[in-house]
Amino acid sequence: METTQKTAITLNGIEKSFGKGDARNQILYDVNLDLPSGELVLLVGPSGCGKTTLISILAGILNPDIGEINLFNNRIDQFTDEEKTEFRKQNVGFIFQQFNLIPTLSVLENVAIPLLINEWNKDKAIEKAIEVVKLVGLESRMNFFPNQLSGGQQQRVAIARALIREPKLLICDEPTASLDGPTGQQVMEMLKKLSVKDDRCVIIVTHDSRIFKYGDRMVRMEDGKIISNERTNKEIL
């Protein structure tokens, strides 16, 4: 018997274009999407199909031309720019292919940055950072610098940094593309565990077929449209 899942994301009639007149280039066409919480979602499709634009709209970085965006019962398309920025700080985490770590800061300091720039007390921020670094299994590397870590360890630091504010929506852009197979699997196993919460949705944009087996759901895009949104049949992957 299936359990009832909460709806994390609902998009209705999203369209997005750039430029005007003859230079206008439409990127998204009538995008409709429903995603439940507690799942690891793979967003796949050829380069240029609109994936990056879509996740930027989901995160409130870009505004759609038209359409409704509901994230965890918040109509963010109705928010002001300031409200979107605050919502994003509190509820959205990003993990990128490039780790974007600051080389002169330790693991602990890199992870604490999101709290420190939001004027947390330093001791409280470090205390929280220690907790999250332990969560990703790097407690023995807390005082190391990025150049002293492997690629997989650096990605774990990036994951910890994204998690420190306990985001409801975690967006990962090609998180395994620069990792070897075994290391990528370790990262995906971690992200899979993080997704299993009834108040979280993890979206991974990827071309890496090696990680398809970790997805609970696969959303396929082509030419600015969602062409399928289905639970994954892991037996055929």
Verdict on whether the full-model pTM lies above 0.75: yes
Would you tell me how many other CB atoms lie within 10 Å of the CB of residue 127? Answer: 13
Q: Which range, of 79-93, 114-128, 129-143, 176-190, averages the lowest pLDDT?
A: 176-190
User: Helices in the chain by DSSP H: which ranges?
Assistant: 51-58, 81-91, 107-116, 122-135, 151-163, 181-195
Question: What are the domain boundaries of the chain?
Answer: 7-236
| pLDDT tens figures, 127-156 | 999 999 998 889 999 999 999 999 889 988
* Residue 45 scores a pLDDT above 70: yes
Are the C-beta atoms of residues 115 and 125 closer than 8 Å to each other?
Answer: yes
pLDDT band at 177 (very low <50, low <70, confident <90, very high): confident
* Residue 235 scores a pLDDT above 60: no
pLDDT band at 157 (very low <50, low <70, confident <90, very high): very high
Q: What is the third-level CATH fold of 7-236?
A: Rossmann fold (3.40.50)
Sign, CA dihedral 28-34-40-41, equals negative
* Residue 1 scores a pLDDT above 50: no
Q: Return the structure tokens found at 2.
A: 């299936």
Q: What average pLDDT does range 26-41 have in this prediction?
A: 95
